Structure 1
Amino acid sequence: MSTKACSVAFVALLLTSLVPLATPSTEQPFSDDRLGDDRFAGFVVSNQDVWNQTPWPITAVPEGFTYDSVTDYSDVGVLINNLSEESRTIGWAYVAARNISLDRVFIFDASGTPTGETINRNQFDTYFASPFLEMLQNRSSNGLNYLVTTKGVPLRVSGGNNKASFDQELSLLGGAYNSTVGGDYWGTHTYGPLAGKAMEPFSRSKYGFFLVTRLTGYTVDTALDLIERANNSLGQRGTFVLDVA
């Protein structure tokens, strides 16, 4: 073998020794099936057609808006923590802006009522649940469908398996689901597309719970600005994207 041929053979042998032997990969290719079938447990729609609104309307309210039709808040209640300046400021501003009747204003003013974002189960029962149920019984709550909480009203109820959102527990009080408050399990209801039902106006007398929303922000001024912007929005036009899923 010539010197040139020997040199080429030596280089080839050297390069071969530097390349590790390939071994078959044992890693399985990614597949959605590997995530299991319980990813969406509890989110079952028995009738998929309720989401189908085709042909899609281009006008939300074809008959148009009137001042009276968009300012009827007779089925709305407001919760105010009287020991929180933030809650008093935001709550009463909303009551005035929406002309909400005083019998729809629920004031929590017992000494020791907590103002922090997190409370325990005993505090929830003592300072909020029991007084709220008493106020409901002493007033005409017929037609009350919606509740508005504010900054200064607790956000969450701590605990073990029975920890929960404050607004979630509030929504169940005094209705068909009152016995589930404080439970460590999921309850079900029959309202809306996720329950396989048609989209329709909400009624607590029919479905047994309140719908609860919250007026809050990083600051009191942010929450007040939400009210003011809504006040000035009547008659305004624009493009909106709503996530209904």
Structure 2
Amino acid sequence: MKKTFILTIIFLVLTSLNAQTVTYDDVAVIVNDNSQASIEIGNYFKEKRSIPEVNMIHINCSTDERVDSTEARSLINQVSNYLTSNNIASSINYLVTTKGVPYIYDAGNCDTVPGFWECSPIDQELTMVINHEENILSNSVFNNPYYDTLVPEFIQEENTFYLVTRLDAYTVDEVKTLIDRSGPDIKVDMSSAQFVFDVAFASDTSATSPFVFVIQRGNEFVQSKGWNSIYDPESGTFITEASNVLAYYSFLFQPSNKVLNFQWLRGSIAFLGMSSSAFTFLHAQNPYNDLILADLIAEGACGGIGFFGPYFMHAGTIWPEIVLNKYTYGLDTIRQSNLYFNLAESYYQSISRLPSVQIIVGDPKTSIVLGDPNDINEYDRIALFKAFPNPADANLTIEYEIKENTPVTIKLYSLFGTRVYQHNESAQFGKQSHKIDVSNLPKGLYIIELETNGLKTREKIMIR
């Protein structure tokens, strides 16, 4: 009974919080200095998300999408050495690779059944770059401790791995468009947003088809939450021309015209379960003209997951009800909560073992909230609000920027809703900084709140 009561308090505290300011201080971007595309994308993402310079990891490697073990090992070692030598290994939760950084370790025969197991996505190998070095490029896996949990925020030190996503598309401009249409707290109108589940590929569209069964479960889940969906298992018609698409889910190979003609919403995500749906992000390397993840990004999808090689069913299934449950968590009850999952968290919550065979594309901190899509996001309105280091063990520094001279209140709450610190000041226009001694506070998750002119912004902080 006591445990139930405590969990109820935690849930009520989390669900009572309004939108928080999301920072990218725990995001590191990997840039290949031999690739102009990688440099341009890295700089663009850094400027758009205010990523600290120290979090920009510059490496020198091949610009090919596929590399051998020597090149892959060199790339991974450069990232590992940078994280440790700059003392940011424990403060980084997300790694973002960029177009121009190799992403497939190719043992030479990835397109055959035996050879497939000798190959792997470098992005996924990077999940283990600090705490699981012995597993890198070894074909060994470990169970994902973050799999299908309700942990409100991913912290690398607790889970012992990084969440890795990629900024890639056919062109640099398409990547920039993806960045512009992504980010935290994208507003979505639940009454018009649509989830598309396509089963036209299947030779057996009966409920016994394993592919159709997976997609059917996803459709049933989103409908149970009150979302709109398009799902037509009977006609066998390839779904095109859909509007207000928030998510797309399909398996296997698609018709060769590669055109969906969807109208994708900001913050939209996709899943292509065909065997080689993310085997390239280069036009010239898609000889079969199959619909692949890069085609969806070119059309306007803001994130997606695909497989780098064949025989994906041997590696497990990404269940749509897990991904979509996390990405839309609580929105059916008009969520006003810090208990939410961003793009990277949602995808990795659905992967049971690491490293996986998936490539995940998108801004890792893209997330959605209910609201008018034409309104300016809270994230866009707030110039600056940072709390660091996170996790903290001695002093916590709060940095913020205000547009006028105004009273400011800074509060720190425990996860149980108890206010453990408050500071009031008359702040001056511009950037401000304030330090809090947290050395005597119990370890755990806390909420830091800044209030000015009736606007409250919050961020989760771990004290260790």
User: What range is the shorter-chain TM-score in?
Assistant: 0.5 to 0.7
Q: Is the counterpart of residue 130 in structure 1 residue 74 in structure 2?
A: no
| Corresponding position of 2:127 | 171
Give the alignment's Cα RMSD to 1 decimal.
2.2
| Corresponding position of 1:220 | 172
Q: After superposition, what is the alpha-carbon deviation per residue over 1:160-211, rounded to whole angstroms, capped at 9, x for unaligned?
A: 4431101001111111x22100112332231131xxx434311110111100
Q: 1:61 to 1:162 in 2, by over 3 A?
A: farther
User: TM-score, normalised on structure 2?
Assistant: 0.35
| Corresponding position of 2:68 | 120
Percentage of matched positions with identical amino acids: 26
SS at match of 1:230: coil
SS at match of 2:97: strand
Q: 1:85 to 1:182 in 2, by over 3 A?
A: same
The residue identity in structure 2 corresponding to 1:79 is I
| Structure 2 portions without partners, runs of 5+ | 1-13, 108-114, 194-245, 248-319, 324-349, 351-464
| Corresponding position of 2:19 | 65
The residue identity in structure 2 corresponding to 1:200 is P
Higher normalized strand content (fraction of residues): 2
| Corresponding position of 2:144 | 189
Q: 1:200 aligns with which of 152, 159, 174?
A: 152
| Corresponding position of 1:157 | 105
| Per-residue deviation, 1:229 | 2.0
Q: After superposition, what is the alpha-carbon deviation per residue over 1:116-172, rounded to whole angstroms, capped at 9, x for unaligned?
A: 11001111112x122112111211213210011111111200114431101001111
Q: 1:85 aligns with which of 36, 50, 54?
A: 36
The residue identity in structure 2 corresponding to 1:184 is N
CA distance in 2, matches of 1:89, 1:115: 14
User: TM-score, normalised on structure 1?
Assistant: 0.65
The residue identity in structure 2 corresponding to 1:186 is V
The residue identity in structure 2 corresponding to 1:167 is D
Q: 1:99 aligns with which of 15, 25, 50?
A: 50
Q: Is the counterpart of residue 147 in structure 1 residue 109 in structure 2?
A: no
The residue identity in structure 1 corresponding to 2:181 is R
SS at match of 1:78: strand
CA distance in 2, matches of 1:198, 1:229: 27
CA distance in 1, matches of 2:158, 2:138: 23
| Structure 1 portions without partners, runs of 5+ | 1-59
CA distance in 1, matches of 2:174, 2:64: 19
CA distance in 1, matches of 2:189, 2:173: 25
CA distance in 1, matches of 2:186, 2:137: 43
| Per-residue deviation, 1:62 | 5.9
CA distance in 2, matches of 1:235, 1:119: 36
CA distance in 2, matches of 1:171, 1:162: 18
Q: Which has the larger radius of gyration?
A: 1
Q: Which has the higher contact order (CA 8 A, sep 6+)?
A: 1
Q: 1:189 to 1:234 in 2, by over 3 A?
A: closer
CA distance in 1, matches of 2:24, 2:35: 24
| Corresponding position of 1:44 | none
